[in-house]
Chains A and B, each alone.
Chain A
Amino acid sequence: MIEKSGIPTVSISLLREVTERVRPPRALDVDRPLGYPLGAPHAIDLQKRIVMAALELLLIPTQHFLLIDFPKSI
């Protein structure tokens, strides 16, 4: 619905299997446990890097479903 208002969205994906079924327009798959979508508590640099990596996907037009892995080699 947000997309239909003309505002692009990007989701953080924690469970790749679920994301692949829900198929949001853009998702950043993060190698973190459930409950830790932006990395770790008080890990300021990591949180900012995940946020920026996700937000950069907003610039990509998508027709179907875009799922990108946040780099594991952090």
Chain B
Amino acid sequence: MRSIGQTSSADIMATLSDLSFKYQFFMKTYRYRQFDWQPGAVLNKPLSQSRIAVVTSAAFYRPDQPPFDASIRGGDYSFREIPLETDLETLQIGHKSDAFDHSGIERDKNLALPLDRLRELKAERLLGDVAPRHYSLMGSISAPARLVSMTAPEIARRLAETRVDGVLLTPV
């Protein structure tokens, strides 16, 4: 139970009914593409020996990268590579969607791309290493085919290339 006095809406669990009607309708009728995976991948060593990367759909991009394009029909399926040394405060946000409250990730990018947190966990020896490169994409995609066939394999290839042991996926 929440302690007395915490009455802000930020304490309330998200449910589909929190979305405006048009989004509820979309999300209830959308034919979700199931996560494309097969059993087998698992972390076989402690986190304290593992290298971790983050992939987020928060549509963050560096100022030296092109912005995500919310006007593309079906959604912008491109991704941005975010190097670990990026100053999080310089990241821009590509979403034009009004489906969720952006103010949290605007105030603290770690809320979706927790690079500072991962560095702290590594310093505390709870994590072995933080990947040199992380990835962001635009989550509000209604036609995900190209995201699945083009973007996802490329991100997977780059993660394997940098010997990432495990990935945290953060939606917004």
- Please report B residues at the A interface, Cβ cutoff 8 Å: 1, 9-10, 12-16, 18-19, 27, 32-43, 46-47, 50, 52, 55, 99-105, 107-108, 110-112, 114, 117-118, 120-121, 126-127, 148, 152-153, 155-157, 159-160, 164-172
Given contacts A11-B171, A22-B32, A35-B104, 12 further A-B contacts (CB under 8 A): A5-B156, A5-B160, A7-B156, A9-B168, A14-B14, A16-B15, A23-B35, A25-B39, A32-B14, A37-B172, A41-B105, A55-B52
The interface size of chain A toward B, counting residues with CB under 8 Å, comes to: 51
A68 at the interface (CB under 8 A from B): no
CA distance A5 to B100 in the complex (A): 32
The answer to whether B127 and A12 touch across the interface, beta carbons within 8 angstroms, is: no
Interface Cβ pair total, 8 Å cutoff: 184
A27 to B36, CA, bound (A): 14
Docked Cα-Cα span, A50 to B88, in Å, equals 19
Minimum CB–CB distance for A20 against chain B, Å: 10
Give residues in A with beta carbon < 8 Å to B: 1-18, 21-25, 31-42, 44, 47-48, 51-52, 54-56, 58-64, 73
Closest to A24 in B: B35
A residues near B108, Cβ cutoff 8 Å:
41-42
